[in-house]
Amino acid sequence: MTAPAPTVAVLDYGSGNVHSAVKALVRAGADASLTRDPETVLTADGLLVPGVGAFDAVIRALRAVGGDRLIAERLSEGRPVLGICVGEQVMFARGIERGVESDGLGYWPGTVRELRAPVLPHMGWSPVDPPAESRLFRGVERERFYFVHSNAAPEWAVDSGPSAAPRITWAEHGERFVAAVEDGPLSATQFHPEKSGAAGIRLLGNWIESLRTTPSESE
C-alpha cells in the first residue's frame, strides 16, 4: 500500500509566487494547499513560508495574520518549516532595506542587507556551495538555482538556532551570502526552488521526503 503524500501548508498572507509554489510542491510529491487557517497550518506535515518584496512589508504582513506565532508554535514542537526568498530573510534578526530597518523573527542572528555588487538585482541562475552533509541538496549539489533579489545575509554570525549544528549553503554575487540554511526543523532558501526547474523540484522533493521522518530522526 502506497503511503499518503505528506501534507504541506503554504502560508497565505498576501505574498506573491504562492500558486507556483503550490504547483511545484505537488510536482515534488506533496499534498499541498494555500491556507492561513491556523489548524491546517499547525497540523500539516510541513509549512512553506513564501516571500516576495521588501523585508519590512513581508514581516508586517506575516504578523498581521499571526504567521509569526504559527511559525513559532510549529518550531517549538519540532515541526518542519521551509522559508523561500524573503521567507528566508525574515528568519534572521534584522533587515535593512532602502533605509528602513526592521526586526525579523530572530531565529538566526545577523542582518539582511543590500549586497555589495556591481549589478542589482541578482537575477538569474547561479551555482551554490552546499556542505557535504546537506540533505536538502542531495543529488543537486552541483546544480544552478534561480535567484531574484538584491538583499541577503552576507554572514552567518554564530552556530546557533533551532539545532546544534546548522548547515549553511553559500552563493556569491559581488560578495558571498547565505543561499540556504538547514537548521533542525527550520530550513530556508534565498533562491526560488519553484522557479529552478528540475533541480528545484528535486530539492523540494528532498525536503518533502524529510517530512516522513519524526523530528528526532531528522536531526
Residues forming the active site: 85, 192, 194
> What residues have CB less than 8 Å from 54, skipping those under 6 apart?
86, 97, 98, 100
Instruction: Give the phi and the psi of residue 157 in degrees, each rounded to 5.
Output: -65, -55
Of 133, 112, 102, 119, which Cα lies nearest the Cα of 177? 112
CB atoms within 10 A of CB 3: 6
Residue 205 cell numbers, joined? 522533493
- Quote the CA–CA distance of 79 and 42 in Å, as a whole number: 8
As given in the structure block, the three cell numbers for residue 113 are 542587507
| Set of cell numbers at residue 212 | 516522513
- Half-sphere exposure (Cβ direction) of 58: Cα atoms closer than 13 Å: 29
